A and B are shown apart, each in its own frame.
Chain A
Amino acid sequence: MKVQLVKLAHARSGDKGDTANVGVIALREDIYPILVREVTSERVKNHFKGICKGDVERFELPNLGALNFLLHESLGGGGTLSLMTDAQGKTFSTALLRMEIEITPEEANRFAVS
């Protein structure tokens, strides 16, 4: 079944030049493997279609139950060059949490999400 990522994770985002970073953190330790399985660079790149014009890189932080994504060429030039309201990528965090991922009914039951 499909659930929105916001039910399983929290996040914070920021910028480095024209690259936005989104750190996605599992709400519980045992949710982290699902993030690793479902929230791949390809899916994140596809999710941010029309927003992220460059590559998406993913890094794993099992110690924090978190994934870090770098979304290159996403901030209209970045820094002071950008004309965007969100030139610093601060709201990319919840934009990623809109993503729908696939979990099993057992997992939905275990994490009490629907």
Chain B
Amino acid sequence: MKETIRVAAGQGFWGDLPDAPVHQVEDGPIDYLMLDYLAEVTMSIMQKQKTRDANAGYAKDFVPLIRRILPACVERNIRITANAGGVNVKGCADAVREVARDLGFAGKVKIGLVTGDDIMSRLDEFLAGGMELRSMDTGAPLATVRDRIQSANVYLGAWPMVEALRQNAQIVITGRATDTGLTLAPLIYEFGWSATDWDKLSAGTIAGHIIECGAQASGGNCQYDWQNIPDMANVGFPIAEASSDGTFVITKHIGSGGRVNVPSVKEQLVYEMGDPHEYITPDCVADFTTIQLEEAGENRVRVFGVRGRPATDSFKVSISYSAGFKAVGTLVYAWPDAFAKAQKADKILRERLERLGLRFDQVLTEFVGANATHGPLAGPPSADAPEVQLRVGVRGSDRASVERFTKEIAPLILTGPPAVTGFAGGRPKVEEIVAYWPALIPKEVISPKVEVLET
């Protein structure tokens, strides 16, 4: 057994810096590369893609990435955990297998698949059986949106990935798996942690939480001393260097930019935090109030003392459903009296929408440069402001109303207050809203499946 295992984060979300995982592989020693591709609504986008093309429905970028990094990963035995499979894990794995064969690794690389997260086809069976799948946000039962559901996936934890690693998979591809499981699974596998060692499972989960948003732990979006964080153009993504006792060090490759220190790690720890006493995953309940941090050298933060409790008997389900339409239009008003002009334009626009008898659930006006981020806390804008952007959004179930709204923005240039510009992009686009419905489901009705493909 190795004394320490280095798990490197390569993507904080689908669309993060394309070369970050390449740098993680090439610029220093690592044992595992973890790649998180799935935000809450990503599954529904993938579901739509799969409906149009049976071969689609996964993170397409993953395949060319594997082409770039696989030779180095094979040479240095770097293993990969990725939830790139989306709603088509098999399709993703087949594409990766083609790449591996192409590169001459036939018979040398095994690919692990984790499925069983997709419960779309079982929803009616669950509902008929008396399960309500109430929204964790609103408490409403799922039946109220049943006819508008687009995807339904359980967040699986680390254990199916551990099984794939035990069967010698070099690349483990999952569908909807937790971000934290992608980091925890390699540690369980390497150190032989037991399924009831809640403190260690919680420590591995917290390591995952710290690195799962990529550079947000290593200098990105860091408020503490942001002006002086060095070489952000070349920012190094974080690496968790874990020991078998459940302690770990957060670091990054030597020579990369950014900064890992106690404040940068603290900022990431509190990101998207709920009740810190119970950070619930499928694998354990981690207690963030037990985490201890200390500086352990340049760009190294040691994390220790983590305690946790037994996992709950539920999985979280991520359900997406169609929830109407929206559009956002913007115009920019210039000095003098930029804010007053933008306000006047908003008044004119709303009066026109009213006269047209359009139906919306919500109309929201923001003045970018005045109140779009901090609202009334920003105080009144200066009368001398060089410019203010009017930003009006509408949302509703009637597509025609939203469509008509998009035709009422540009005319304001010739029919409203003066010194206005910023309409180069054409009419705003009408967007279908796919909303997120989190629910809980008993673990006993879900069966994760693990399969390992030869190349």
Residues of A bordering B, CB below 8 Å: 10-18, 21, 23, 25, 27, 47-51, 59-66, 68, 70, 76-81, 83-86, 90-91, 93-95, 98
Chain B, interface SS category:
mixed
Could you give, for residues 288-305 of chain B, a 1 whenever the CB lies within 8 Å of some chain A CB and a 0 otherwise?
111111000000000001
Q: How far is the CB of B203 from chain A (nearest CB, A)?
A: 14
From the candidates A14, A66, A94, name the one contacting B374 in the complex (CB within 8 A): A94
A94 and B266: CB pair below 8 A?
A: no
Closest to B326 in A: A83
B41 and A98: CB pair below 8 A?
A: no
From the candidates A21, A49, A60, A86, name the one contacting B274 in the complex (CB within 8 A): A21
A83-B223 CB under 8 A given contacts A50-B376, A51-B376, A68-B276: no
B274 and A70: CB pair below 8 A?
A: yes
A12 and B137: CB pair below 8 A?
A: no
Q: Does chain A have a CB within 8 A of B273?
A: yes
Additional A-B contacts beyond A23-B267, A64-B288 (12; CB < 8 A): A12-B221, A12-B223, A17-B136, A18-B137, A21-B274, A27-B224, A62-B289, A80-B434, A84-B366, A85-B368, A85-B373, A95-B375
From the candidates B224, B271, B305, B376, name the one contacting A14 in the complex (CB within 8 A): B271
Complex interface: chain A residues within 8 A of B40 (CB): 79
Instruction: Please count how many residues in chain B sit with their CB below 8 Å of the partner chain's CB atoms.
Output: 49
From the candidates A18, A47, A48, A64, name the one contacting B270 in the complex (CB within 8 A): A64
**Please, how many angstroms separate the alpha-carbon atoms of A67 and B221 in the complex?**
19
Closest to A49 in B: B376
A91-B293 CB under 8 A given contacts A10-B223, A12-B221, A16-B274: no
A83 and B393: CB pair below 8 A?
A: yes
A80 and B435: CB pair below 8 A?
A: yes
**Please, how many angstroms separate the alpha-carbon atoms of A80 and B290 in the complex?**
34
**Please, how many angstroms separate the alpha-carbon atoms of A86 and B378 in the complex?**
14
Residues of B bordering A, CB below 8 Å: 40-41, 136-137, 221, 223-224, 263, 266-277, 288-293, 305, 323, 326, 328, 362, 364, 366, 368, 372-377, 391, 393-395, 433-436, 438
Complex interface: chain B residues within 8 A of A16 (CB): 272, 274
B223 and A61: CB pair below 8 A?
A: no
A86 and B372: CB pair below 8 A?
A: yes
Q: How far is the CB of B322 from chain A (nearest CB, A)?
A: 10
Complex interface: chain A residues within 8 A of B270 (CB): 11-12, 21, 23, 25, 61, 64, 66, 68
Closest to B290 in A: A63
From the candidates A17, A59, A84, name the one contacting B277 in the complex (CB within 8 A): A59
**Please, how many angstroms separate the alpha-carbon atoms of A47 and B289 in the complex?**
26
Q: 6 nearest interchain CB pairs?
A: A23-B270, A83-B393, A14-B272, A91-B373, A83-B364, A12-B267
Complex interface: chain A residues within 8 A of B221 (CB): 12, 90
